[in-house]
Amino acid sequence: MFSCENEAGKSVASEEYAPAFQEQLALTQVQVEKVMQAGIEVPTPKDMAGGPTHEIHKQNWYTLRDAGALYRLTGDERYAVFLRDALLLYAERYPTWPTHPTDRSYATGKIFWQCLNDANWLVYVSQGYNDIYDWLDEDNRQKLDNELFRPMADFLSVENPQFFNRIHNHSTWGSAAVGMIGLVMEDDSLVNRALYGLPPDVLPDDLRDDDTGKIKDKYGRAGFLAQLDLSFSPDGYFTEGPYYLRYALSPFLLFGRALATERPEIGVLDYRDGILKKAVLGMLNQADPTGDFFPINDSQKGMSVYSPEVVKAVDYAWYHFGRDPMLLSLAEQQGAFTLDVEGAAVADAIAAGEAVPYQPSPVAFMDGPEGDEGGVGVLRAYGSDDAQTCLVMKYSAQGMGHGHYDKLAYSLYNEKGEVIQDYGAARWVNIDQKGGGRYLKENNSWAKHTLAHNTLVIDETSQYEGKISIAEDLHPDLYTFDVANTDQQLVSATTDNAYPGRDLQRFNLLVTIDAFTQPLMVDVFRSAGTKNAQHDLPTWYLGELLQTNFPYATRNRLQPLGNGHGYQHVYAEASGVPKPGVAHINWLHKGTFYTQTMATQPGDEILFLRLGANDPEFNLRRDPGFLLRRTAATTTFASVLETHGSYDPREEVPRRPYGEVANLELVIDTEDYVALQLTHNDGTTWVLTLALQDPDRTTEHQLKINGQTFSWKGVHHLIKTDNESK
C-alpha cells in the first residue's frame, strides 16, 4: 500500500474542512451515491471512444476512485462495500474478455479500444483499491490481486511491450498504472518493472505507432524514471506540448506522490532538479489570457487550466513544491479540489486569505532532454487598459508522433482568446460520430502540414518534406530571446534544415508605443537561398474581413489551391495584386478590430483562403486566412499587426475601427541587418533595427539610413527618427 495521509473519520460537515472542500466532498457524495443506488454497470467492451461501453467504463474509473476517497475521508463503510463489490464484478468478468474487438490501435486494450485507456482505468482505480485494501478480508484481497489487478498489470506491460516500453505519454500512464497497483499489492517486481521498464531487446528498432511515431527511441530506455529523464527539457517543457502535458501530468504526479512515501530513496519529487515542479509551472505558463492552452502540435482547442487534470496539478504543486500563493488564486478560479490532503490544504489556505493574483511571465522554453533541441518562446505584453497580448513562436523539436511541421510558426492571443490561430488537431475527442473520437485522416493530410500554420511554405511543400522520419532528427535553434525591456519584447529563431539549401530566420516582437492603445505585433521573416522559389506566408486570422487597400477579385468557381501538403484542402476565394509598397487588411473579431500592414514588392500576390476543400465529411473547420505569395531566391517579409477599437452590436457604434499604421518600409535588407520603418497616421516615424548575425546583447551596431546614423547595442532597437529612443 501507499500512504494517502488518511483523513478517515472526519464528517462531511466537519468544521475541520474549509467550506469549499466540504462542498466538493458533498458533490462527490451525491455523484457516487447515485451510482450506488442504480447499481454499477460492467458491460462487455465493444465500442470506440465516445461509444456506450467506453463511456460506462470510463465513468466507472472515476466513480470507483471517488468511492475509495469517500471511505477514506468519512469512514462510512457503505462506500467500501460498494467499491469491493464493483471490483469483484470486474474480477469475475475481466478474465473472460478478449482483446477489444475494434482492433484499431497499435496497442489494443481489453476494457477499452487502446491500452492507454486501460492504463487510465488502472491508475484511477488503484487509488480506490488502496483506500480499502486494509479493510478487505484476505480472501477478497487475494481474489482481486490475482484475478484482476496482477493480470491487468501484466497485460499492460509484458503482453504489450510496444505500449509499455517507450518514451511517450502512453507509456507514462502504463508505467504509473503498473507501479501504483504494485505499491498497493506490495509487489516489488511490478514496481521495479514500472520504474525501469522491460529489457530494450523486446522491441524491434523500427517499430512505429498509429501516429507514425517511433516506439523505440534512440536512448534505448524505458520506465517511469526514463520518462522523467527524457520527456522533459531541463526547464520542464514537455516535447509533445501543453495539451499532452496536461494529460501526462496526472500519472507523473500520482505515481510520484506514492513513490515519495514508499520509495523515498528515489527522491522523485526532487528528481532532476525538481522537474515535476518545473513541468507544472511550465504548463501553466503555456496558456493564453483566457486560460486555454496553446493548441500546438496535436491539441484539441478549449483544453484549459480549468480542466480536472490541472486542478490536480495545481493542488499538488502548491502542497509539494513550495506553496506559491499565486497557485492559490488559480485554484480559487478553478473552484474544485482533489479529495485528498493536498486539496484540503489548498482549500484551507484559500479560506485563510493566502492567495495572490496569478500573472504568467514571458518565457523561453527549451526542448529536448538536454535542452538543445530548439524550444518555444512566449511573449506577454499589456495595453493601456492592462489587457494582455500574448505571442507564441514555435521552434521546437518535432514532438514525436504528435508533432507538426510548423517550425518558426507563431500564434497570437489576447483577453478574448485566439487572434491569429494555430489549427490544432483534426479530431473530436471522444465523439463517436467523428471516427470514434480518434485522430481523423485530415490530421495527417491537413493539420500537421506547414500550410496549416503561420509560417513560410516553400514551393508548396511542407517542412522536412512532410515526413516524420526526417523531422524527428532535426530542429530549429533559438537566435535570441529578449524581454528585458517589456516595451520591446523579442523572440527570434533560425533553421537551415526545414528546406534543403535554404536558411530561414524569423523575428517576432511585441512593441508597446504610446501612440497605439495595444501592443503591436511585428513580424520579420527572412528566407535566403540560391535558387528562386515560391514563398507562401499564410496568416490564419479569425473573424470577418472588412477592408483592404488593394483591389481583389472573388472566384465564383472554387478550386483547391494545390494537390498535396495541405493545399488540397484550401480554396482561394479571392486574390489580388497589391501595389509595391504596403498592403493593409482589416477585419473584426469578437468586437475588436485588427489591421495587418505588410511591406510589399513587385510581383507579390495576396490570396484569400477558405479551408474545406476535399473534405466530404466536414471534418475540417471552414476557417478563413490570407496568404502573401512571392517568388524569390532571397527575400524578407515584414508586417505589423494592430489591435484597435471596439464594436458592441447592442450600441451599433464602432470605435477606432481603422488602423493607424500609415506605412511600413524595409529600408535596410542585407544578410547582416534589417531595418524596418513604421509611420503613424499622424506622421510620427520609428525605425526598428535588427542584427541578423550576432545575438550578443553587448555588441554595438551602427547603420546609416537615409543619411541618418542609428546606433544601438544588442540584437534590436526601436528608434524615433529624431534619434529620441522610444
d(CA 132, CA 372): 46
Which of 227, 124, 119 is closest to 178 using CA atoms?
119
Q: Please, what is the Cα angle at 622 between 621 and 623, to 5 degrees?
A: 90
DSSP 8-state assignment for residue 443: I
Helix (H, G, I), strand (E, B) or coil at 522: strand
Which of 176, 46, 76 is closest to 122 using CA atoms?
176
d(CA 302, CA 291): 9
| Structural Rg of the chain based on CA atoms | 27
Judged on CB neighbours under 10 Å (0-12, 13-18, 19+), 530 is exposed
Residue 449 annotated among the catalytic residues of the structure: no
d(CA 61, CA 491): 44
Single-letter code of the amino acid located at 419: V
To the nearest 10°, the Cα dihedral for 195, 199, 202, 208? 50
Q: How many CA atoms lie within 13 A of 631 on its CB side?
A: 3
d(CA 25, CA 18): 11
What are 720's three cell numbers?
524615433
CA dihedral sign, ordered 184, 185, 188, 190:
negative
Distance of CA 177 to the CA centre of its chain: 24
Residue 535 annotated among the catalytic residues of the structure: no
Single-letter code of the amino acid located at 315: D
Single-letter code of the amino acid located at 523: D
Task: Find all residues with CB under 8 Å of 204, minimum gap 6, and list them.
Answer: 216
DSSP string for residues in 651-672: TTEEES-S--EEEEEEEEESSS
Provide the b/e sequence for 296-324 (b: ≥16 CB within 10 Å).
bbbbebebebbbebbbbbbbbbbbbbeeb
Q: How far is CA 692 from CA 461, 668, 675, 701, 703, in A?
A: 26, 12, 11, 11, 13
Residues in the chain: 726
Is residue 675 within 8 A of residue 689, CB to CB? The reply is yes
In the chain, count H helices and then E strands: 17, 25
Specify which residues 675 forms β-bridges with: 668, 689
Is residue 680 within 8 A of residue 662, CB to CB? The reply is yes
Q: Please, what is the Cα angle at 184 between 181 and 186, to 5 degrees?
A: 105
First to last CA, the chain: 63
Single-letter code of the amino acid located at 632: A
d(CA 593, CA 96): 61
Among residues 90, 94, 124, 244, which one is catalytic? 244
Among residues 168, 320, 402, 449, which one is catalytic? 402
d(CA 268, CA 259): 7
Which of 333, 311, 292 is closest to 319 using CA atoms?
311
DSSP string for residues in 39-82: ----PPP---TTSHHHHHHHHHHHHHHHHHHHHHHH--HHHHHH
Is residue 21 within 8 A of residue 336, CB to CB? The reply is no
Residues recognised as catalytic: 244, 402
